[in-house]
Amino acid sequence: MYRLLLSAFVALGLAALALPDGLDAQLREIVTKSVSASSSGASLGLTFADRGELELSFDGGTVYLDGEAIGTYERGSELDTAWRSLLGEAMALENGALAERLVAWSSPELGGTAAEVGQSVDQALEDALEVADAQDANDEPGLSVSDERTLARILLNSVGRLGVLEEALEGLSSDLRIHVDEDVVIPQGSVVDGTVVVIEGTLRVEGEIRGDVVVVDGAIEVVETGVVQGEVRIADARVLSNVGTIRGGLVDVLEEEREVEEEVREQLREEIRAEIRRDLRNEIRQVTRMEHDDGFSIMAPFHAVVRGVGGVLEKMVMIFILGLVGAGFLAFAGENMETIAETARRSPGRSAMVGLAGSFLLIPVWILGLIALLVSIVGIPVAIAWAPLFPVAAGLAALLGYLAVAQNTGEWLADSNFPWTGWIRKTNPIFTLVAGLLGLVLAFMAGHLVSILPFLGFIGNLLFAAGVIITIAAIQIGFGAVLLTRGGRRKEYYAAYDPDAAWEAAMNVDVDEGPGTGTGASSTGEGSTNDA
């Protein structure tokens, strides 16, 4: 678009030819419009970007321009109809299209006073909407400095990268020779008067230019025979060679802007560096403060003690809570818990395998059961209870199994005759349960106590890992025992096979056969002796 505009600019000969009186004017930018119509009249109001306003109204037989009467009309006449028709079109148009339509409107051919009023309205619209470069009638036709700047500004509003042209033309002669997108050669021996402007092209000066040179987004070459009497101004342009004569000097129009941009960039870089330095300084201070608090404070040795003792107390509280829960199970489901504990004691391996398989199948069973209930209308109420109760039931089963394994552990500790197990009474299930819980978390408590001592963190981690393994094993064995005995209701499971009874039976058989044989032999021997 800018090439077409600037080419037209050159084609019109604005740099060397006079401007005719009929120069097409630019149209003012319309910011807002107001259109109103009624049976008594119709009016148009415009507000322009340069804060100008226009108000034309046909009201009650009188035509008003900005509040002043400029003539009369008859309601329903051709002028009134044409005006209302124009306002009807204006309601659907905006800005440029609206301005073009208003300027293009012409009053219908009328006679008498109505014709004068129509011409006045037409002229008022054109005068308000057109922005023509005024020219002194007494001056010789041509471009003045203000004309050139105004037109250049209008042309360059849509040409972002050539927006420096106006700055490059500042203070130069209005006698312009503009070349757009072409290479220009000033041959040796030729003389050019005025300012030569080259946009997106290469200028080669072999002769003489009695004026200034402006090169935008292009290149310039001044050979040995070339002479420029004025300045050479470049903007986003290159100097291919400068071996001739430039009396006004070479000026880079954007050099100052580049310096400002570089200053802004440097300022931004400094601000970023300062911000990074502040962040690093704060981070170092925070780390130093933490190291001081943890490693160099007077209270630092007691931090490990507090953490270790706190961990032990935490496990003691957990044992107390689980003991209360286990006491509740013993009180209300003691036989079930005893069945589960006996199954876990007699078949720990099978219980562990069943518990592990059940753990993997919990989520699939929950999802499949929920889907099976939802597909039937009758099962929807049950599904509402199934969704939350199934996980709760699974958790209670795992807890019941863990407590049953803890009771077995407590009974084992009571039979172990360890020095610190004298307080465990095997006849009291509460004592065995609490002792078993203490035995299951003993590795955790030892890990907390070891962590109090410095340089023993590795041993503490090993103890914590052992505690985790013991806890998982106890849960899996107990959960499997719960599943095998259907929650402790299936007592015949462990009664059907008693490994202790089988072992005792096997031992009795061996005992009977051994002495019997010996006795038989002895009897035989005795009999033989007697016979002898």
pLDDT digits (tens, 9 = 90+) for 311-348: 889 989 999 999 899 899 888 888 888 888 888 888 89
Q: Are residues 248 and 268 in the same domain?
A: no
The answer to whether the pTM exceeds 0.75 is: no
The mean pLDDT value for 407-429 works out to 84
Residue 394 lies in a domain: yes
Average pLDDT, the chain: 76
Quick one: pLDDT at residue 253?
Answer: 76
Is there a single domain that holds both residue 315 and residue 292? no
Cα–Cα dist 121/108, whole Å: 11
pLDDT at position 174 over 90: no
Q: Report H helices in 347-456.
A: 348-374, 379-416, 429-440, 442-450
Same domain, 363 and 479: yes
pLDDT at 53 over 50: yes
pLDDT level of residue 475 (50, 70, 90 thresholds): very high
The pLDDT of residue 499 = 54
Residue 237 lies in a domain: yes
Query: Considering only 117-126, 128-137, 197-206, which range has the smallest mean pLDDT?
Result: 128-137
CA–CA dist 475, 362 (Å, integer): 14
Are residues 457 and 440 in contact, defined by beta-carbon separation less than 8 angstroms? no
Tokens of 353: 């395998």
Are 86 and 219 part of one and the same domain? no
User: What share of the chain in percent tops pLDDT 70?
Assistant: 76
Angstrom distance (rounded) from CA 221 to CA 201 = 11
pLDDT at 267: 85
Residue 58: the pLDDT is 82
Q: What is the mean pLDDT of residues 194-204?
A: 89
| pLDDT band of 421, cuts 50, 70, 90 | confident
Structural domain count, the chain: 4
Co-location of 108 and 245 in the same domain: no
Higher-pLDDT residue of 499 and 207 is 207
Domain around 276: 257-297
pLDDT at 291: 56
Mean pLDDT on 95-112 = 78
| pLDDT confidence of residue 204 | 92
Confidence of residue 353 (pLDDT cuts 50, 70, 90): very high
333 and 479 both lie in a single domain:
yes
* Residue 103, domain member (yes or no): yes
> Is residue 127 domain-shared with residue 166, that is, in the same domain?
no
251-258 own/partner pairs: CB under 8 Å, 24+ apart? 253/164, 253/167, 253/168, 254/164
Residue 285 is encoded by which pair of tokens? 């201070």
| 106: in domain | yes
Q: Are residues 311 and 459 in the same domain?
A: yes
